[in-house]
Structure 1
Amino acid sequence: MPRPAQRLEQLLEEIDRTPWGPAEQALTAEAVALAVEIGDEQLEYRARMRQTASANMGGATDVMLNSFAWCLARHDADPVRFPADIENGGADLMWQFKWMAASLRSSPSFSQEQIAAVLDDMEAHYRAAGIGMSGVLTARFEDAWDAGRMDEAEELRVRLEATPRDDYSHCDACGRSQIAGFFAATDREEEAVRLVEEMVEGGFSCGEEPEHALSRALIPYLHLGRFEEAKAAHLRSYRLAKDNPDNLVIVANNIEFAALTGNEARALTMIERHLPWLAHDQLNVDGHHAALSTIAFALDRVTAAGHGDTPVRGADAAALVPLFGEHDGTWTAEQLAAAAWTAADRIGAAFDERDGTDGHAQRRARMQALAAEHYDVPIRSDAFAPAPAAATPVDADGWYDRAVAIGSYGSELDALAAADRAESAGLSDPARRARMLGLRIGALVSLEQVDEASALLAPRVAELRASAQEDQAELEERLGLSLFGRGTPDDIAALEREWADAAALPERPRGDLALTLASARAGAGDPAAVELAAQAQRIYQGVDEDRLATTSVLTAAVALLRTERTAEAAELLDQLVEGERVNDGHRARALDLRARVRGGIGEFGAGAADADRAAGLLAGLGAERALANAQLLAGALWEDAGSPEQAVVRYRLAARLVAQHGGDREGVEFRQAKAMLAAGDAAEAAELLSDVLQREEAAETPAGSRAITVGMLARALAGSGEFGQAVGAFGYQAGLHAEAEEPADQAMAMLEQARILARFGEMDEAIETLEEAADVVRPTEAAGAITQVLHELGQGYGSQKDERAFALFDEVARIAAENDAAWLIADVTDSRGRAFAEFGRIDDAVAAALTAADAFAELGDAGSAGGSELFAARVLTEAGRRDDAVPLFRSAIDRAAEIPPLRQVAALELGDVLSALGRNAEAAEARAIAEG
């Protein structure tokens, strides 16, 4: 075991390797505690300097202030033993000084005199150390702006702009963001946006940038009518900020944006997610003021949208009582809005009293002025889910009917909940009590809660006898849970024995026996189940048991589907869907099954319509768990039908229901994000996928499953233009596939990385990534992955004039031939031609391109054929052989008859070549083709 001092050194090294966050904060606290235990102040100084930076990044203001004060006292007493800069990034005492005045300003507990003293102390230390005044002016500017001394702030901004930058100036990202925020606050919105866009386009970033700057530009973008830029900025800002409680103000800016743009449901979701942050840092009172004001404003918009009675989850947490006050029951949006305004006004008044200004009152006035503004910038990741159209039953009989209908559909938990309500309401009819007990037993058996089901058998038999159903009672006494679907081998054997002597039974119990046995046989794929179900149907029709007769028809349909007699099953389902004496539960189940049948034969739109009808019926029954599954089915069918926008709506409601009632929330939201990506909402998909991934990582989901989520996230990031983050995400995906021992998938993720790198001219890194991917994938038997990686690597080598390209093309062609992949052979032949062109081998390049064109044409791919011929024509043109190129351009135009973009390009280029040859009339004809 290492000695304490050695362990402390190890901790400091580990801290320096660990990203900001809870893990790093825990290591820092451990290091400080160990240094105190050792009693070595120099070691403690090194640990506390790190702790100050850690606390600043994590929003632990009290820790930061205490740590800084301790370090400053040691430095002032002995600057040699305790140097200002310990050469460890943010662990520089003079740099940390910049955080102190802002931290004191964030709480009205600190007086203006204390803040001024810190600023003066900072300036004295800077002058003594020979440091420029840029950092000091920045701190004074921030103080004046935050206090509402706007004229003074503007004067300081001008002085700051004229002051030479130095090592203690804000970085480019933070400096631009800060001034952009000031411009926005002083109605210079075009200048604010310009600064933010310069920052983003320049790739400047820092601890909370660019997310803070983007959030500051949101309202200016709206006022300037640049809605698409506003939406993109919001989605990126919020996704980057949403996981760090120190970003409370950034999140508040994004909530305000959502409320202003008709996305009230999204604003409410964000509020619920971030309410706990109000209790994170008790000294960040100014952040609380910004957040509370925004929460109040947003909840007012929720109320105005007609959802003021919506509960706000998490608002009743004990840690929030000091802010919102005591409250009985759940806070609604309208109630919490009023409480948040009260809290914000109380805090704002305390700040204004401390500062002797009306700065916070002016902020409230600016926010109130926004109440008259509205912008239509729809974001589809959140919306108020329509309340299920279910009228609440008013008595026991109403609940009984609902439970029966839900039981007919087969949603166990929903049925049990309705049965509970029916029984608690006091059913007077013993036959109905018996039916509810039977429903409960069947549902519990299906849920594998066998002991609970067994305990209800005796009360069920008693109610049967009380309702003069003696024959049924005797049958259930003999067979017990065998009659309720338990399905063990002993149960099936008991049913078969009873059925052999069933002729002596009265019709009602005989029908029950036939139906139970038919269901068991259908589950095993036994064709005899169809006839048994038909017998049960005839029996029940004879005793006017419509519900059980319908159950028998459904059982027959299932049995037919299990034995692949789809057409016959479809006929039965059609009858049930249109039947007059079919309850809503049975009709919903028939629609559900028919939707699946239609999806299975490729009739996706019709299947989606059936699933939607089923969802409507289930909503009317209040069967919300079943409704979630119906929405999932509808979403999947709409996706298959090529309507991802419709799928998003269904998945969104399913996700809300699953979050409320339990289930695979990550799976549902993954589907929602996938549909959003297909619908073109890449940035929104990225935000949702990052949430899914975060929960999967917290739940320690297996690496292979997480890799799928990360891969989709990477695609969403690329689709929203965040290519740098997409490269990182594809790298993370590759690592997860490696952890899961999935080398082919690992290589494909690396291939995607390389494609982005190549797109932005990073060819050396792209090729290096592809070489590593090739080493990973070659030992596998995944021919598709092998050929994709090797083909792309060959293209990379070719672009760099590396002879190794041709050996790779040969290898790809060989694997393609072994797998009868004719199109791939044509494609790699085209790649070979392009590589020849890089080497200046003109005739070889043209020959290969034309060979590829003929192969593509033979396969019916006119677009690729025309593309290969167009390439060959360009090679000849660049080599000065224009006469030889002309027929190839003409052939490419002919091949592209049904491909307007390719036809237009080929015609325009032919026109240019003909003009260069002096054949102007022909050139005009070619250009006419392009224009037509």
Structure 2
Amino acid sequence: MERSRTRFTQLVEEIDRTPWGPAEQALVAEAVALAVEIGDERLEYEARMRQTASANMNGATDVMLNSFAWCLARHDADPQRFPADLEYGGADLMWQFKWMASSLRSSPAFSSEQIAAVLDDMEAHYRAGGLGLSGVLTARFEDAWDAGRLDDAETLRVQLEATPRDDHSHCDACGRSQFAGFFAETDREEQAIRLVEEMLEGGFSCGEEPEHALSRVLVPYLRAGRLDEARSAHLRSYRLAKDNPDNLRIVANNIVFSALTGNEARALAQVERHISWLGHDGLNVDAHAAALAAFAFALDRVTAAGHGDTPVRGADSPALTEFFGAHEGAWHAAELAAASWAAAERIGAEFDRRDGTDGHARSLARTRTLSSEHYDVPIRSDAFSTVPEAAAPADPDAWFDRAMQLAQFGAEHETLQALPHAMGVEDPGKIAQLLSMRLGILIALDREEEAAELLPARIDALRAAGLDEQADLEQRLGLATFGVNTADAASALEDALADASSLPAWSRGDLAISRASLHLQSEEPAAALDMAEIAARAFVEAGDVRLANTTTLVAIAAMLHSGDIESASAVLDRFLAQDDLSTGHRAQALQTRARVRGGSDAFVEGAADADEACRLLAGLGATTALAAAHLLAGALWEDAGDAEKAVTRYRVTSRLVAQEGGDQAGADFRLARAMLSAGDSAVAAELFAQVLEREEQAGVPAASRAMTASLLARALTASGEYGQAVGAFGYAAELFGQDDEHAEQAVALTERAKILARFDEHDEAIEALETASALARRAPEAVGTLADVLHNLGQAYGARQDERAFSLLDEVAALAREHDAEWLLADVTDSRGRVLAQFGRTDEAVAAALTAADAFAAVGDLGAAGGSELFAARLLAANERPGDAVPIYRSAIEHADGQPALREVCALELGTALEALGRHAEAEEVRGLLES
């Protein structure tokens, strides 16, 4: 028993330091079960008080109601043994009372009388406990507002504002958010925006704030013409809300925003991501109604944009039948919109019958009214596929041509799909070719048994086509000519080639190209090339241009395999200049040349080839191959430094992968990285967070997740979300540490420390940097990382006037000299000057800064040189030595010639120094620089 009590204490301590979420819920459930097992109601009370709070934060309404009722009964029976406040830092019993009426109101299963009884019971408990009535008024205001009794709600709001705040009042964040929502709904949108901006400026936050408040003013921002603020508010709100199903209302507001602002593809993706949340909390029906209206509005906009026939993934889940009714097959956007409106109306009517008002009907009408509004606020996280659908072939012969083109490119998946449509051709020669394609693909997919069963049909087709010699050959060799890679197959091909002189030219070519392919698979490129040349001559003799071209591609592969890039490039150029290439062969050659050019740093030319390959593949309907082709094009544009073009290609990749299946996380990782490079950091952060979530679910290795978390942190930093960035860098460091990636762990800790130092959290920053320096020293090959960590730690010590700064900066300088890193040497010399200034050693500081300026200038970084000189000049001016500062300011102005902002600052300060020296005419002349 004692062991059980000890375990209970450990559980409670762990619960109180674990963030809300599944892990915390599991701990709470374990604590409740353990207390019941022990048979101690006091311990059970402690556990269930926490369970009530946990269930409220995680959207488990039924658990919350039951847990609260149990606790309230014990408190009323024995308030000494079961006090209202356990003083553990969480909500006390009287605070939890505020959640109860709200929870009952959220489901029409509870009557108005039951809700009123809870509110009256709450007020009675507050009065009996001598508590202020702010919390009670808040609950009554929420009840009147949610029921649609807006006049009563306004009266209570005014009364609430006049009531002194107390320990059971809403916090600053929640109170402002609530009133902002009420103002927005009652056409006082400017007041709503003011309240939310006050909340943000004050840094107020809470469990679901500021994300809820931000979502409430999205439409008011749009109507006020403040589109940039609306976009930022949406991205922040959605990023904070998207991972907790209890935030369904917040997400609904954000989906409406996406649909209103021309981001229909994003709205559809959000509907697909969150539609399953309808089944999360069966008692949160009010949120279901809001979400269904948002889904309906968004899907109407998707339909209006011309995509009403797009399937909505996840909508056909059996768990959603209660909302949308029975349906055969996938729901399409247009029909799901109608079903969502109907469900929202049905639920709203149930609430209005209970409340005796038309509150929910009015709310639904407001959402419908938005159909007349539109705002242009581009967000590039999602897009409908811009790939034109290939026209379906009209008959078996046309399907035969399509299958041939797909096979010539190497699109195995799409070729297999096309083959059944083509098998209706009448020409036995074509049937033989189709069977040959299928056999080759089956072997490539390691489905040898299926291939063996199909081989007799191929032989029969050859005989029907009058190709008896080829039929005899394949009957003798089995699957050897279709790519099966065994010693017996290779030996059989060698024997057949030795006796091939009497065979028709086409058969000789077939043997040679089959052997060439096996040589390639066995890492024998020279032998493969020899065989390809034999095959090419045979196919030319046979007059088969198609297979002659196929052989050329095999020869190119052999050249590349052997490392002969120059020869392969020349052959590719000649090959693509031919006018007898099929679309499939041309697309394959373009894709190969794109990779070759990328490997030779000719990124723009390679990207152009990849783009053309994409165009050709789109015409063939090769969707799986097309996703890979767009991925290649995006990577090449990214390497070429054109992040915008990379974003466009990666976005198509992401959509195709979502449709066809594949590595969605990998595609979105690349898209997010390109968006970050393109400066769209807020959307990049959202995508990186989604990728990280998928990687967590898939159990991806820690180091890979760490890379995603690190880029998420960088995106958050660029978006100004510094608090979240600190957490993300910390998580990345933890993950890197799990896989002993010491250098990367040190980098993550250093970036975290930089943010902490920016907000004057110097002790924590230094602690992180000290840990990072110890890790970096364990990775001696990562010289750049070690130098960066030591440099930052030296600067941090310098800011604290700690002498250890100098030895660290000296070590960085030594590393720079050892590795001929001239810019780094200049930079650390500049840092040394600034640290010397912290110690009041002015002359040494100026000398170091000027030495750094000369070093920066020597490596061509004139802007940095001007910055060092500006620091030296300021230091002299601040020490009442304007005469010494003047020539340094002038030099800084010269170095700042290409940087207007730096030049302006230098000119202004030089003018001030000249004025101090009484040189007024010169000062006026210098200030004239600002106008030129």
* TM-score (norm. length: structure 1): 0.96
Overall identity of the aligned pairs, in %: 65
Farther off after superposition, 378-387 or 529-538: 529-538
Aligned residue number for residue 451 of structure 1: 449
Cα displacement string for residues 431-473 of structure 1 (whole angstroms, at most 9, x for unaligned residues): 2222222212222222233333333333322322232222222
Deviation, 1:674, is 0.3
| Contact 2:403–2:419 (8 Å) recurs in 1 | yes
Tell me how far 1:7 sits from its aligned partner.
4.1
What are the within-5 Å matches in structure 2 for residues 671-820 of structure 1?
671-781=670-780, 782-820=782-820
Q: How does 1:891-910 map to 2 (within 5 A)?
A: 891-910=891-910
- The equivalent residue for 2:18 is 18
Match of 1:518 in 2: 516
Residue identity opposite 2:320 in structure 1 = L
1:140 match: 140
Q: How does 1:785-864 map to 2 (within 5 A)?
A: 785-864=785-864
Relative distance call for 1:528 and 1:912 in structure 2 (3 A) is: farther
Match of 1:614 in 2: 613
Deviation at residue 18 of structure 1 after TM alignment: 2.8
**Equivalent position of 1:292 in the other structure:** 292
Post-superposition shift, 1:269?
Answer: 1.0
**What letter corresponds to residue 637 of structure 2 in structure 1?**
W
What is the CA deviation profile of residues 66-92 of structure 1, one whole-angstrom value per residue up to 9, with x for unaligned ones?
A: 221122122212212222222233352
Displacement of 1:611 after TM fit?
1.0
The structural deviation recorded for 1:128 is 0.3
Q: Pick which of 709-718 and 78-87 moved more.
A: 78-87
Comparing 479-488 with 753-762, greater Cα deviation is found at 479-488
1:928 and 2:898 are equivalent in the alignment: no
SS of equivalent to 2:416: helix
In structure 2, do the counterparts of structure 1 residues 491 and 912 end up closer, same or farther at CA, with 3 Å as the change threshold?
Answer: farther
How do 1:233-382 and structure 2 match up within 5 A? Answer: 233-382=233-382
State whether residues 52 and 91 of structure 1, in contact with CA within 8 Å, keep that contact through their aligned partners in structure 2.
no
**1:100: how far off?**
0.8
* Paired residues for 1:615-630 under 5 Å: 615-630=614-629
Contact 2:384 2:655 in 1 (8 A): no
Deviation of 1:733 (Å)? 0.7
Unaligned runs of 5+ in 1: none
Aligned-partner residue type, residue 287 of structure 2: G
TM-superposed CA distance for 1:703, in Å, is 0.7
Greater mean alpha carbon deviation, residues 583-592 or residues 549-558: 549-558
In 1, Cα distance between equivalents of 2:8 and 2:872: 67
Does structure 1 conserve the Cα–Cα contact (< 8 Å) formed by 2:525 and 2:559? no
Question: Deviation at 1:226?
Answer: 0.8
Alpha-carbon separation, structure 2, partners of 1:3 and 1:756:
44
Distance in 1 (CA, whole Å) between partners of 2:473 and 2:927 is 88
Q: What CA distance in whole angstroms lies between the structure 2 residues aligned with 1:872 and 1:678?
A: 34
604-613 or 470-479, larger mean C-alpha shift: 470-479
Counterparts in 2 of 1:525 and 1:891: CA distance versus 1, 3 Å: farther
In 2, the alpha carbon distance for the partners of 1:493 and 1:891 equals 79
User: Which amino acid is 2:908 matched to?
Assistant: L
- Cα distance in 2, alignment partners of residues 855 and 610 from structure 1: 43
Matched to 2:583, the amino acid is D
SS at match of 1:399: helix
Moved more, 11-20 or 721-730: 11-20
Shift of 1:593: 1.3
1:231 matched residue in structure 2: 231
Deviation at 1:612, TM superposition (A): 1.3
- Write out aligned runs for 1:331-480 (5 A): 331-423=331-423, 426-480=424-478
The residue type paired with residue 484 of structure 1 is F
Once residues 749 and 790 of structure 2 are traced to their aligned partners in structure 1, the CA distance between those partners, rounded to angstroms, is 12
Match of 1:538 in 2: 537
Count of matched residue pairs: 930
Cα separation, 2, equivalents of 1:833 and 1:10: 52
Residues 575-609 of structure 1 show CA distances to partners (whole Å, capped at 9, x for unaligned) of 44343322211111011112222223333222222
Worse-matched range after superposition: 517-526 or 160-169? 517-526
Is this contact kept in 1: 2:215–2:234, CA < 8 A?
A: yes
Contact 2:383 2:655 in 1 (8 A): no
User: In structure 2, what is the Cα distance between the partners aligned to 1:546 and 1:906?
Assistant: 71
- Per the TM alignment, residue 760 of structure 1 is displaced from its structure 2 partner at its CA by 2.0
Moved more, 695-704 or 488-497: 488-497
Shift of 1:103: 0.9
Q: Given residue 282 of structure 1, which amino acid in structure 2 is its aligned partner?
A: G
Deviates more, 1:733-742 or 1:396-405: 396-405
Is 2:62 aligned against 1:62?
A: yes
Kindly provide the amino acid, as one letter, of the partner of residue 732 in structure 1: Y
1:274-331, CA deviations, whole angstroms, 9 ceiling, x for partnerless residues? 1111111111111111111111111111111111111112222222112111223322
Are the equivalent residues in 1 in contact too, given 2:669–2:688 (CA < 8 A)?
yes
Distance 2:654 2:314 in 1: 19
Asked if the contact 2:668–2:691 (Cα under 8 Å) also holds between the matched residues in 1, the reply is yes
Give the conservation status (yes or no) of the 8 Å contact 2:428–2:465: yes
The amino acid across from 2:573 in the alignment is D
- Provide the secondary structure at the position in 2 that maps to 1:262: coil
Amino acid corresponding to residue 49 of structure 2 in structure 1 = M
**1:756, distance to aligned residue in structure 2 (A):** 1.0
Identify the range of structure 1 (114-123 vs 466-475) with the bigger mean alpha-carbon deviation.
466-475
Partner of 2:667: 668
Aligned residue in 2 for 1:874: 874
Of 379-388 and 126-135, the range deviating more from structure 2: 379-388
- Which deviates further from its counterpart, 184-193 or 198-207? 198-207
Moved more, 625-634 or 581-590: 581-590
Distance in 2 separating the partners of 1:431 and 1:224: 70
Contact 1:412 / 1:444 at 8 angstroms: preserved in 2? no
2-11 vs 351-360, which deviates more?
A: 2-11
Matched position secondary structure for 2:55: helix
Say if 2:473 is the partner of 1:506: no
Deviation at 1:710, TM superposition (A): 0.3
Q: Which moved more, 1:400-409 or 1:520-529?
A: 520-529
Counterpart residue identity of residue 779, structure 1: R
SS at match of 2:377: coil
From the superposition, tell whether residues 521 and 906 of structure 1 become closer, same or farther in structure 2 (CA, over 3 Å).
Answer: farther
Question: Aligned partners of 2:90, 2:895: CA distance in 1, in Å?
Answer: 63
Structure 1 distance, partners of 2:251, 2:272, is 12
Once residues 490 and 840 of structure 1 are traced to their aligned partners in structure 2, the CA distance between those partners, rounded to angstroms, is: 83
- Tell me the CA shift for residue 175 of structure 1: 0.9
* SS of equivalent to 1:236: helix
What code does the residue aligned with 2:533 have?
A
With the length of structure 2 as denominator, give the TM-score of the two structures. 0.96
The question of whether the paired residues in 2 share the 8 Å contact of 1:904 and 1:931 is answered with no
CA distance in 1, matches of 2:761, 2:154: 43
Structure 1 letter corresponding to 2:667: V
SS at match of 2:479: helix
- Give yes or no for contact 1:90–1:96 (8 Å, CA) kept in 2: no
Mapping of residues 42-57 of structure 1, within 5 Å: 42-57=42-57
CA distance, structure 1, for counterparts of residue 35 and residue 871 of structure 2: 69
Contact 1:379 1:684 in 2 (8 A): yes
Secondary structure, counterpart of 2:478 in structure 1: helix
The answer to whether the Cα contact below 8 Å between 2:105 and 2:143 also exists between their aligned partners in 1 is yes
Name which of structure 1's ranges 138-147 and 451-460 shifts more when overlaid on structure 2.
Answer: 451-460
* Matched AA of 2:632: L
Q: What CA distance in whole angstroms lies between the structure 2 residues aligned with 1:671 and 1:494?
A: 46
| Residue range with higher mean Cα deviation, 836-845 or 147-156 | 836-845
Counterpart secondary structure, 2:579: coil
C-alpha distance in structure 2 between counterparts of 1:99 and 1:555, whole Å: 70
Matched position secondary structure for 1:455: helix
Alignment partners' CA distance in 2, 1:808 and 1:454 = 70
Q: Using the alignment, how far apart are the partners of 1:882 and 1:91 within structure 2?
A: 61
Asked whether the equivalents of residues 492 and 520 of structure 1 are also in contact (C-alpha less than 8 Å), the reply is yes
